[in-house]
Structure 1
Amino acid sequence: MATFNVYLNFTGNTEEAFNFYKEVFGGEFVMVQRFKDTPHGDQMSDEDKEKMMHIALPLGNITLMGTDALEGFGPALTFGTNFSPSVSPESMEETEKIFAGISAGGTVQQPLEKMFWGAYYGQCTDKFGVQWMVNFEIKE
């Protein structure tokens, strides 16, 4: 089966966002590439050269990846409305820890609670405008 990953686009704070995600979920970056490291990096402003071209953080069976979507490099960015990464923790304790971490400084749309489909579920928008779903399958 194919591997599914999540790619997040930011408008200049990708590094800050990914350091936050690393703090919440753990792990180590497997790729960090700045625009200055690309073939055309020498043609960019000093500020843009330091932005993230690509960053990758393995999380379980997926890799969370991101970039700084620089102005003029494609359509304008709309935060958090075109996807919702979904996290499936392995325990109730891990679910609460992840949800508390990812929602810190953000907005909770659905507090964690037992749902009709048999899961302990919550939904929030993190402090970077990304919508997250946390879904622990309760096995009885």
Structure 2
Amino acid sequence: MTQPVIQPYLMFGGRCEEALEFYRTALDAQIDMLMRFQESPDPPPPGMLPPGFENKIMHASFRIAGNMLMASDGCEVGSQFKGFSLSISVATEAEADRYFAALSDGGQVQMPLTKTFWSPKFGMLTDRFGISWMVNVVTTECNG
């Protein structure tokens, strides 16, 4: 029996295409698959989508550093991302600086990158789409 796979599925409420482009630039994300609602072999039930969502993203899969995530515009305008964070662990402080700066552009920093007992650099932020991120340098001296 194969092991279950848990992957984040993010609903951007009409801003998915913008988010994918942001992550492509900020995190070198690679888009593996993208389908718009109008391209679906089965149209959504009448009234399911807000007006103008026909060209929005029904489903996308993308990779950040080999990690698979999925995304959609969902079926309503607006999104609320609460109760979780995406954590990105990197090998060097330079990588942490780059990712933290890129992700915080247009977002809000909760904890600037700083030395902690488990990492030479750790920080927390919410990006411009409301996704909470933790950026962490993992070293052999500090197991994070």
* Band of TM-score, shorter chain: 0.7 to 0.9
The aligned counterpart of 1:5 is 7
The aligned counterpart of 1:81 is 82
Q: Which sections of structure 1, spanning at least 5 residues, go unmatched?
A: none
Once the two structures are TM-superposed, the CA of residue 4 in structure 1 deviates from its matched residue by 4.0
Aligned counterpart in structure 2 of residue 15 of structure 1, from 14, 17, 32: 17
Q: Deviations over 1:31-58 (max 9, x none)?
A: 0011111111595676111111111111
- Percent identity at matched positions? 34
Cα separation, 2, equivalents of 1:61 and 1:31: 14
- CA 19–95 in structure 1, closer or farther in 2 if over 3 Å, else same: same
Aligned counterpart in structure 1 of residue 43 of structure 2, from 35, 40, 43: 40
Task: Check the 8 A contact 2:93/2:120 in 1, yes or no.
Answer: no
Q: Which sections of structure 2, spanning at least 5 residues, go unmatched?
A: none
Give yes or no for the alignment of 1:128 onto 2:133: no
Cα separation, 1, equivalents of 2:51 and 2:136: 42
The aligned counterpart of 2:68 is 63
- CA 118–94 in structure 1, closer or farther in 2 if over 3 Å, else same: closer
Cα separation, 2, equivalents of 1:92 and 1:4: 28
Task: Check the 8 A contact 1:79/1:129 in 2, yes or no.
Answer: yes
Cα separation, 2, equivalents of 1:113 and 1:47: 44
The aligned counterpart of 1:92 is 93
TM-score (norm. length: structure 2) = 0.83
Give the residue type in structure 2 aligned to 1:133: M
Structure 2 counterpart SS, 1:21: helix
Give yes or no for the alignment of 1:112 onto 2:117: no
Aligned Cα RMSD in Å?
2.3
Paired residues, number: 136
- Structure 1 stretch 35-44 or stretch 21-30: which is displaced more? 35-44
Once the two structures are TM-superposed, the CA of residue 61 in structure 1 deviates from its matched residue by 3.7
